[in-house]
Amino acid sequence: MKYCYRALALLFVAFASHAEITAEDVAADCAKISEYAQQGERFYKAKNYPKAREAFENQVAWQEQCDAIARNVDNDLLATAYNNVALTWIREGEYRKALAWLSIMPENKKSAYNLSLIKEKLAALPKPASAAGEYWQYAGRGTFETLTLKPQDKETFLADWSGYYFGMMAMYYGPNLGEFSEKVTLKAGKGVIKLRDGNISDCTISLNLSPDLLHIKAKTDDPMQCGFGHNVSADGTYLRVD
């Protein structure tokens, strides 16, 4: 996708308060998307998958950023970028992490094809023995919200969560953030996390673990009371990736 300088200049009227970032800056950054893709391909062919993934994640982040500014999402380019990252995980045998990336746009033909390639690999993975593990939910800009459950005793876990909200200019000014580290007791796959702070947070987050221990759904009673950054929420479905 080519980002028209004139169109970007008009759109930047809305961002006058951030005068240090110009339309020329954005046009230059958006022009680098294809460079990230080419860099990733070179590392991928050299079987340097971590470096390839880093480049492809940059491809994802800037494709999303530039689409947001231009207000013109190119689903095919985005799906290609997501699949590029997924392929690096596949090559390293990290099939659940690959699944997380392929699940961002699962209806896309490329995603569906690559999902079909790892279907048997996923089915052959050892079944989780407990809820303990790492779970991801896509937040945008090549970044996943993470929920990690660490065993404390038979039914109690330490839940560590990091969340994000990416606004229109997030690649320039950063995302809004949220996090917590709290104990939770899971009985029959259900548990409640209570965040209590007399000055900041007073919220309850319910967790519901799927019977196969591969997904966790989180639901907050009132996200505005959790003390996270603006629009940051723990809500959603998280996929086990370990």
pLDDT digits (tens, 9 = 90+) for 117-130: 999 999 999 999 99
For 135-187, the three-class secondary structure string (H helix, E strand, C coil) is EEEEEECCEEEEEEEEECCCCEEEEEEEEEECCCCHHHHCCEEEEEEEEEECE
- pLDDT on residue 56: 98
Q: How many residues does the chain have?
A: 242
| Residue ranges per structural domain of the chain | 5-124, 133-240
Higher confidence at residue 19 or residue 71? 71
Each residue's pLDDT tens digit, 144-178: 999 999 999 889 999 999 999 999 999 999 999 99
Does residue 13 carry a pLDDT above 70? no
| Residue 240, pLDDT score | 98
183, 152 Cβ separation under 8 angstroms: yes
Q: What is the mean pLDDT of residues 93-98?
A: 98
Mean of pLDDT values over 212-229? 93
Closest CA to 191 of 202, 199, 183: 183
Task: Indicate the pLDDT class of residue 12, thresholds 50, 70 and 90.
Answer: very low
Whole-prediction pTM value? 0.90
The CATH number that domain 5-124 falls under is 1.25.40.10
Order of strands across the sheet that contains 236-240: 176-185, 156-165, 143-151, 133-140, 236-240, 215-220, 202-209, 190-196
